[in-house]
Amino acid sequence: MTALLCFVGCALVSWLAGYPAHRVLARHGILDHPNERSCHDRPTVRGGGIAIVAALGAVTATVALSQNRYGMLVMLGGAAALAVVSFLDDQFSVAPALRFCWHAVLATATLAALGWPRLTLTFGPDWSWGVSGGLAAGVWFLWLVGYINAFNFMDGINGLAAGQAVVTGLGAGLLFGLHSGDWTGAGLLLAISLAGAAAGFLPHNFPQARMFMGDVGSAPLGFLLAFLVIYLAQKSGWVLLVPLALLHANYVLDTGVTLARRIARGERWHQPHREHFYQRLIRAGKSHGFVTGLELSLQTVVLGLMVWYLFVPGWVRLLLALAVLVLWAGFFAYGEIAFRRRPRSRLAGAPAQPDLEVAPAWSNPDLRDMRQPSAKASQPIHLSLPHMGGSEIRFVQRAFDENWLSTTGPNLKALETSFSARVGLPSVALSSGTAAIHLAVRLAGVKPGDEVVSPTLTFVASCNPVLYEGARPVFIDSERRSWNLDPELLSGFLKQRAANNRLPKAVIVVHLFGQSADLDPIVALCRQYGVTLIEDAAESLGAQYKNRPVGSLADVGVYSFNGNKIITSTGGGMLASPHHGWVDKARHWSTQACDPNPQRNYLHSEIGYNYRLSNVLAGIALGQLEVLEERIRQRRAIAFRYRDAFADLPGLELMPQAPYGLHTNWLSCFLVDQASFGLSAGGLVRSLNAANIEARPVWKPMHTQKLYQGYECVGGAVAEDLNRRGICLPSSSCLTDDEQRFVIDRVREAHLAAKAAPGK
């Protein structure tokens, strides 16, 4: 009865707590990103792993009060150390292999602390140490590592929710323990409460999540649960252990199968696995609800068997254990079969595809037989399409109704007001991002003959305005960590130029593909040398650097509403600046720079432009601003869906997600390693284009352009490499699941075909 109350109560509390929690998170831009289940890309969930681990430590301490102090101490130390690893991982993305080793070490320590010899009880009638004992320990060890690794299903925002669940469970357990003084009972209730709390947060995450997956942040949770299993088993004289192990056999088998497949395929086996059979079934076209239902009913059957198990003679138990294993094996086999027979893409014109991706290499030695004429999408799948939210047309209609069909009007005002609120700076709406950069260059006081620094890896519009002003660009290479301007190279360059008294007039820093450059050192350098810093955030509206919006952190920032950007007004741009008068100056220049005078005569004292945005287009931008958050979520989800779908392909890696900011993944960019992927980036682009998919290389560096021959470039090898190996995949926020699956299938197909016929 108490247990039932505990379960229901915890479920309720965590369910209710989910609402304010999600609200707070949303307010801080830490949104629930569907399909995104890894903390490594999200510095914003820095606390996720830590929260769980902290709770884990507390839980362990509680249970430690009851029994087996040494075991508990190891758990506690392990939890603390895991917190450190989680933290390092969130910050620096610790190598997966290191994490794996870490789990292994902890598993070993736990086993040792709980007493190796007792393990023998699980494996047979009084096995003594020696070969069989060692064997038993080995199996056990694998089970634990597998268990811990396999329990990675809650992470990112789900990880936070899991932390919340653990805390709720802990509270309930503590209350019970304090009230009754029965800490053994508290240990048991704890487990039940945890389950209840986890059940409570599921409704918050289930609807959006097509997959559960995750990483190290949730490993501690797995660790805790693994520990509870052992703990309960020990309490029950180990008799519970076998059934408990079987209850979780699916996770362990899952990890084992994944691991075996990877080793057999010569893939990076030590990478955290991103696909469970669960996801395979989802990818095979089964619904989220169906697969969950299937897993849960299997688990219930096993649970029933488990209870019965305790009351039957030894040989029946053995048979039952085997039966359960067979049951699970059947489940996995079903997963494989369903995956092979999955429905073909609904995209018209796509012929039935052989299931290239699941066939393990060993079952199909002759991959050449599997080459098929490539499918072709009947409608082109574009790189990045406009995606209206619905309210744009109302603002446009209002402009028509009120005859504000020029470059003044209420939409412009409203746009500037709401944009300024977003970036925290005064702003002006302009006819394009390029126009905004041009005005920024002028605001920086660039004169003919001056030099202006620009990254060489960028779109040409970043630096053309330098030429408009008769100034000279100097290009600087990118850093690998963010693909953006390398602060070290900039530092060396400015230092050397300062020594020769030839400092550039301005630096343009570009935030490519939705990711912020490493701004702190760049801002500091420009301050130090008194050089104006311009942020080209045309591709990165909505991106953040250390929780602040990019484009608002330097002397002047520019944004673009071009048709291919994350939000669009068909064409348009914004300029924002913290400096008094700069935005007004830009507005003045953008409307032909007519000097104010009472006669309204046409007085001109400096050059101006026709760069103002139309009030009609401002209406579109205004409507689009309303859906910016959603677009960011969608673009990120698309990038991570690609990443997860390609996790097992060698030599295909998502563009780095620098730990200091929020990457909108405006475009999903990948790096192709020809040696392991089998095909060059160029080859992959060609093969996708042949399938009517618009894929493109990463920007071609400016120093390699005919237009910019003869201009200085500092470094350049990184940018050239990124251009040679980088590829942008269709990333429209309106990309459908079917379309994305189609793209994914073509990429996997190209990989296998290339592997089967190298050199082609």
**What binding mask, one character per residue, do residues 463-502 give for ligand PLP by CB under 6 A, x or -?**
----------------------------------------
Which of these segments, 256-264, 453-461, 549-557, 589-597, binds ligand PLP (CB under 6 A)?
A: 453-461
**What binding mask, one character per residue, do residues 572-611 give for ligand PLP by CB under 6 A, x or -?**
-x--------------------------------------
CB 588 within 8 A of CB 608: yes
Q: Which helix (DSSP H) or strand (DSSP E) does residue 652 occupy?
A: strand 652-654
b/e sequence 629-655, b meaning 16+ C-beta within 10 Å: eebbbbbbbbbbbbbbbbbbbbbbbbb
Which of these segments, 97-105, 212-220, 457-465, 688-696, binds ligand PLP (CB under 6 A)?
A: 457-465
Which of these segments, 145-153, 232-240, 431-439, 583-591, binds ligand PLP (CB under 6 A)?
A: 431-439
**Rg of the chain on CA atoms, in Å:** 29
Distance CA 80, CA 424 (A): 39
217 versus 573: smaller Cβ distance to ligand PLP: 573
| 3-state secondary structure labels for all residues of 702-728 | HHHCHHHCCCCEECCHHHHHHHHHEEE
**How far apart are CB 455 and ligand PLP at their closest, in Å?**
9
How many Cβ atoms are within 10 Å of 379's Cβ, its own excluded? Answer: 10
Query: Which of residues 432, 482, 515, 624 is near ligand PLP by CB under 6 A?
Result: 432
**How far apart are CB 561 and ligand PLP at their closest, in Å?**
6
| Structure token pair of residue 656 | 């780095």
Query: Which of residues 214, 433, 455, 623 is near ligand PLP by CB under 6 A?
Result: 433
b/e sequence 245-256, b meaning 16+ C-beta within 10 Å: bbbbbbbbbbbe
305 versus 463: smaller Cβ distance to ligand PLP: 463
378 versus 570: smaller Cβ distance to ligand PLP: 570
**How far apart are CB 543 and ligand PLP at their closest, in Å?**
12
Distance CA 11, CA 514 (A): 38
- Which of 286, 505, 565, 700 is an active site residue? 565
175 versus 460: smaller Cβ distance to ligand PLP: 460
Side-chain-side CA neighbours of 156 within 13 Å: the count stands at: 22
Residue showing the smallest CB distance to ligand PLP in the complex: 433
71 versus 573: smaller Cβ distance to ligand PLP: 573
**How far apart are CB 39 and ligand PLP at their closest, in Å?**
29
13 versus 574: smaller Cβ distance to ligand PLP: 574
Query: Which of residues 510, 550, 618, 735 is near ligand PLP by CB under 6 A?
Result: 510
- Max CA distance (Å), the chain: 106
Helix 717-725 vs helix 681-690: angle between axes, to the nearest 10 degrees?
30
Q: Is residue 462 involved in binding ligand PLP (CB under 6 A)?
A: yes
**How far apart are CB 458 and ligand PLP at their closest, in Å?**
5
Q: Which helix (DSSP H) or strand (DSSP E) does residue 535 occupy?
A: strand 532-536
CA nearest 46: which of 5, 100, 96, 87?
Answer: 87
- Quickly list DSSP for 557-587: EEEE--TTSSS-SSS-EEEE-SSTTHHHHHH
**How far apart are CB 464 and ligand PLP at their closest, in Å?**
9
302 versus 722: smaller Cβ distance to ligand PLP: 722
- Among this protein's residues, is 235 annotated catalytic? no
Task: Name the one residue in this structure whose structure tokens are 């287009």.
Answer: 617
Distance CA 467, CA 452 (A): 10
- Quickly list DSSP for 396-457: HHHHHHTT--SS-SHHHHHHHHHHHHHHTS-EEEES-HHHHHHHHHHHTT--TT-EEEEESS
**How far apart are CB 610 and ligand PLP at their closest, in Å?**
15
Side-chain-side CA neighbours of 316 within 13 Å: the count stands at: 8
- Contacts (CB under 6 A) with ligand PLP, residues 516-575: 536, 538-539, 560, 562, 573
**How far apart are CB 480 and ligand PLP at their closest, in Å?**
19
How many chain residues bind ligand PLP (CB under 6 A)? 14
Task: Name the one residue in this structure whose structure tokens are 């000097």.
Answer: 595
Site of interaction with ligand PLP (CB under 6 A)? 432-434, 458-459, 461-462, 510, 536, 538-539, 560, 562, 573
Catalytic residues: 565
